[in-house]
Amino acid sequence: MPPNYKIVLMGFHQLICDILRYVEADTTSEVVAVVPQRSEKEVRWYDDIEKVAKEYRVPIATDEDLQRMEFDILLCVDYHHILKKEIFQLAKVGSFNIHGSLLPKYRGVAPYIRAVCNGEKKVGVTLHEIDEGVDTGDVVAQRSFEVDEFDTIEDVIMNHTKFGLECFKEFLNSIRYNDKQGNYHYPKEKQPEGELWQNWKYEEDGELNLSGSAKDFFNKVRMLNYPFPRAYIRGNDGKKIYIVLERE
């Protein structure tokens, strides 16, 4: 059983809720604060991290509050801001992020959408250290999974949640304290260089190319599906016509 670490969680979506529940119910560690990523535009298909935090009596905080706190681990999940160095250096063990790709591939936003639209059949999730770059820190844990021909973004997100939690469990159990050096260590490896792709604009990237291949068309439709905004084409009047993918 790992020691009692004080953990701060930052972000939103189902994975961060599952991590909070796991820490509080199945470990000797504790979540001492949650910094939620709020977005009024999001479709609420996942548990509300603020409500889950309230269930476990975990305080809601801001990143400024963290400068007045003591904690061991800071973990970001879908936190859409680049942390300042003075924030991510506060954690005694370290600060980490869970990213939806097999880093160093598909750094930046919308990694799963980009990967499947590019025809990738294997994607994954990576827990990595936070540094001053974007998704460039050392890799601590990683899991891959296959994308079936008819999987939608909803299927991919479910696997992301499952394997992201596995990565966190592996990391938490791998931490060791060096009494002589007075620091913590855990297995990790440096990332090779990878392409950073930051911009995903739905107005531009959500439009389907009718002159492209049928495969490219289908890949975009199944990734731009519930719970995300749908892919679309434009009618002769310029209005959007949304493409909905439904299963029997």
Q: Tens of pLDDT along 90-144?
A: 999 999 999 999 999 999 989 999 899 988 999 999 999 999 999 999 999 999 9
Boundary of a domain, candidates 143, 160, 185: 185
Asked if residue 40 belongs to a domain, the reply is yes
- Specify the pLDDT at position 197: 66
d(CA 168, CA 145): 16
For residue 71, give the amino acid letter: F
Find the angle CA(15)-CA(24)-CA(175) to the nearest 5 degrees. 80
CATH at 155? 3.40.50.170
Residues 124 and 206 in one domain: no
Residues 214 and 104 in one domain: no
Residues 126 and 215 in one domain: no
Mean pLDDT lowest among 94-103, 175-184, 206-215: 175-184
pTM of the model: 0.92
Asked if residue 192 belongs to a domain, the reply is no
In this prediction, residues 235-248 reach a mean pLDDT of 88
Asked if residue 44 belongs to a domain, the reply is yes
Residues 131 and 54 in one domain: yes
In this prediction, residues 23-32 reach a mean pLDDT of 95
For residue 177, give the amino acid letter: Y
Q: What percent of the chain has pLDDT over 90?
A: 75
Residues 116 and 209 in one domain: no
CB of 153 within 8 A of CB of 224?
A: yes
Residues 30 and 112 in one domain: yes
Q: Tens of pLDDT along 142-155?
A: 999 999 999 999 99
- Specify the pLDDT at position 1: 46
Q: Which is more confident, 2 or 174?
A: 174
Q: pLDDT confidence of 181, banded at 50, 70, 90?
A: confident
Asked if residue 196 belongs to a domain, the reply is no
- Specify the pLDDT at position 195: 74
Mean pLDDT lowest among 62-66, 94-98, 167-171, 192-196: 192-196
Total of domains in the chain: 2
Boundary of a domain, candidates 185, 215, 230: 185
DSSP letter string over 26-89?
HSS-EEEEEEE---TTS---S--HHHHHHHTTPPB--TTGGGG---SEEEEES--SPPPHHHHT
Residues 39 and 153 in one domain: yes
Residues 109 and 223 in one domain: no
d(CA 92, CA 96): 12
Residues 210 and 179 in one domain: no
Q: Tens of pLDDT along 34-54?
A: 999 865 455 567 899 999 999
d(CA 54, CA 31): 12
- Specify the pLDDT at position 228: 82
Asked if residue 247 belongs to a domain, the reply is no
Asked if residue 154 belongs to a domain, the reply is yes
Task: Please list, in sequence order, all residues whose beta carbon lies within 8 angstroms of the beta carbon of residue 235, skipping any fewer than 6 positions away.
Answer: 241
CA nearest neighbour of 235 among 227, 243, 245: 243
Asked if residue 1 belongs to a domain, the reply is no
Q: What percent of the chain has pLDDT over 70?
A: 93
d(CA 224, CA 202): 9
Residues 128 and 167 in one domain: yes
- The domain in which residue 236 lies consists of 202-242
